[in-house]
Amino acid sequence: MPLVFESITAKLEAGAVDTTDVTGIPAGVNIFHLVAIAIYTSNGTPGTSDVDTLSGGGLTWARVAGTTACNGRISQGRGELWWAFGSPAAFTLTVDLTDVVRDAAGLHVTVSRISGAGDVAPINADYSNLNADSGGPSCTGGSDNDLPTLDMTVTDSDSMVLNMLWPRNETVDTFDADYTEEYFVEHTDGGDSTTMGIYTRIGGGGPTDEIQHLLDSDKPWYMIGCEIQIGGVTHTASGAPSITEPTATGVARRIVTATGTPAITKPTATGSALRKVTATGTPEITKPVSNGTARRIVKASGSPSIKKPTSQGQVGYIEAGRDLQKYGDEQYRLRMEQEEAEILAIVIAATTAIIEDQD
């Protein structure tokens, strides 16, 4: 199932803002929710998170690592991304700012809904500002310009790259031609500007994708980007990959390396599990006869006795040491050899079963 940008819901606040509610977020099944938050505040420390908690929809919300952005020259411009995955009914999202940044001058929140994604955090998250185009640039200094740029690492060609732009109070003259503008709303309440644009594309131009927009004039800005992975296959940005595989129902299951000694089971014909164990002592081997009754085969000591059914259905007792030549019946001898071969085949099959169970 491909990734699809389904919808976006927004809320703008101006003045002394501590919290806000984004209402009317639609219901959905297996929906990836990405929340972009632009804050204009002189409180707190630029480059650290200004959001305390997100709640709503019965979902578990988490900050996207590496997306706590700041502007360079204007330290009041802050931003970050949060995410959650699930199948909520229509809901309201509540955003609470941290104690140190309460009474923020401006707040702009968008909730993007994406289908076809996996239940995993975005990867390769990064941000840029006037001082650098990636890698957690400095939150002070820099000269205004009109060319917001972010070099994004992209792992999978079928992932969705989502880009958030904060151009303070400027409009975008031309957005990156490889991207779709999903949302752009100016919020220019005096100097308390939290104008925001949201842009997406599937995949990228290679292991690094340069995102570049053109503003109408030179302004302070920052951009945040992340890679949202398609459902079923996941990677981590560094280190060993976390791999998931879809089941027949489309729900991703996690593949892990087991520790300890595994318990091995084998289904029987009725679906019940047959546990393999290592036997102690002398095993008993049984083989069902045609009427379903099991007969016991044992390793005998001394001279074995062999039973052969007669034509009347009764069992005649034949001593093992009897000289077969006395019957003078070549046909009978052949029948005896056939029965002995059948018994030997049963013993061999039983022995093989013991070895397999012990393995």
Q: Which pLDDT score, from 0 to 100, does residue 351 have?
A: 72
Structure tokens that stand for 110 in this block: 């968008």
> Band of the pLDDT at 234, cuts 50, 70, 90?
low
Q: Per-residue DSSP letters for 269-332?
A: TTS-EEE-----SSPPEEEE-TTS-EEEE----SS-EEEEE-TTSPEEEEETT--GGGG--HHH
* 313 against 155, higher pLDDT: 155
The tens digit of pLDDT for each residue in 22-73 reads 999 999 999 999 999 999 998 988 889 999 999 999 999 999 999 999 998 8
What's the whole-model pTM score?
0.66
Q: Which pLDDT score, from 0 to 100, does residue 285 have?
A: 36
What is the C-alpha separation between 200 and 320, in angstroms, rounded?
86
What is the C-alpha separation between 53 and 44, in angstroms, rounded?
16
Q: Which pLDDT score, from 0 to 100, does residue 307 have?
A: 42
Beta bridge partners of 258: none
Q: What is the mean pLDDT of the chain?
A: 77
Query: Domains of the chain: which residue ranges?
Result: 4-254, 276-358
Is the pLDDT at 259 greater than 70? The verdict is no
Spell out the residues 6+ positions from residue 311 whose beta carbon is closer than 8 angstroms to its own.
Answer: none
Q: Which pLDDT score, from 0 to 100, does residue 352 have?
A: 73
Determine the 3-state secondary structure of 15 from DSSP.
strand
Largest Cα–Cα separation, the chain: 121
Determine the 3-state secondary structure of 171 from DSSP.
coil
The tens digit of pLDDT for each residue in 262-320 reads 333 333 333 333 333 333 444 333 343 334 433 333 333 444 443 444 444 333 333 43
Other Cβ atoms closer than 10 A to 291:
5
Using only the alpha carbons of the chain, give its radius of gyration.
36
> Band of the pLDDT at 229, cuts 50, 70, 90?
very high
Q: Which pLDDT score, from 0 to 100, does residue 195 have?
A: 95
> Band of the pLDDT at 198, cuts 50, 70, 90?
very high
> Band of the pLDDT at 197, cuts 50, 70, 90?
very high
Looking at residue 327, what DSSP letter applies? G
The tens digit of pLDDT for each residue in 75-119 reads 899 999 999 999 999 999 999 999 888 889 999 999 999 999 999
Q: Which pLDDT score, from 0 to 100, does residue 332 have?
A: 67
Q: Which pLDDT score, from 0 to 100, does residue 350 have?
A: 76
* Rounded mean pLDDT, 252-269: 32
Q: Are 230 and 161 in contact (CB under 8 A)?
A: no
